[in-house]
Homo-oligomer: A and B are copies of this chain.
């Protein structure tokens, strides 16, 4: 951030009065520009024991596999965001179920939230951000070719809980600054 999005003047990184952390503050109009983590929301879509995966057509991790997920938009709920992303990336209509995982991707300033989901029909396909979509049995999941640690964590917790007959939710932090 170099310029104030309100008035167009230069910003400086400084600690505003009464605050603790440095923020980008406009040198002319004084607007404080807070920067906060973004929500990435997705689901594990299931149909008759199979799971819907997408091969990414965009960076980062182009060509690797994920479950449908993306940035939450203003004006929607987490569940609506998860269903919308599934429609966009995998052309599949789902009913969003229980909360599955919350992944703190601290270095990326992101919180990833995943839900269980059920496909309303067996229809699916590759959306514009996907090269391919596949409906796979658990033993067919391409573990070495998953796109993100949050994808693997989410799929493993999904299968663990399915084995134990539970629908738990799981928190984890992946902080590349620590490794």
Q: Do residues B104 and A77 form an inter-chain contact, with CB atoms below 8 A?
A: yes
Answer yes or no: A169 CB below 8 A from chain B CBs: yes
> How far is A78 from B170 in the complex, measured between Cα atoms in Å?
13
Would you list which residues of chain A between 147 and 179 have a CB under 8 Å from chain B? 169, 171, 173
Interface of A is mostly: loop
Answer yes or no: A38 CB below 8 A from chain B CBs: yes
The proximity string for A residues 82-95 relative to B, scoring 1 for CB distances below 8 Å and 0 otherwise, is 00000000000000
Answer yes or no: A21 CB below 8 A from chain B CBs: yes
> How far is A34 from B2 in the complex, measured between Cα atoms in Å?
16
For A, the interface residue count at a CB cutoff of 8 angstroms equals 40
Given contacts A2-B6, A36-B74, 20 further A-B contacts (CB under 8 A): A1-B5, A2-B5, A2-B7, A2-B8, A3-B4, A3-B6, A3-B7, A36-B38, A36-B39, A36-B72, A37-B72, A74-B109, A75-B107, A75-B109, A77-B104, A77-B106, A77-B171, A78-B171, A99-B102, A169-B169
Residue positions of A touching B, CB distance < 8 A: 1-11, 18, 21, 33-39, 71-79, 99, 102, 104, 106-107, 109, 111, 128, 169, 171, 173
Could you pull out 12 A-B pairs where Cβ atoms are within 8 angstroms? A2-B8, A3-B7, A3-B8, A5-B11, A36-B39, A37-B73, A39-B39, A39-B111, A75-B106, A77-B104, A77-B173, A79-B171
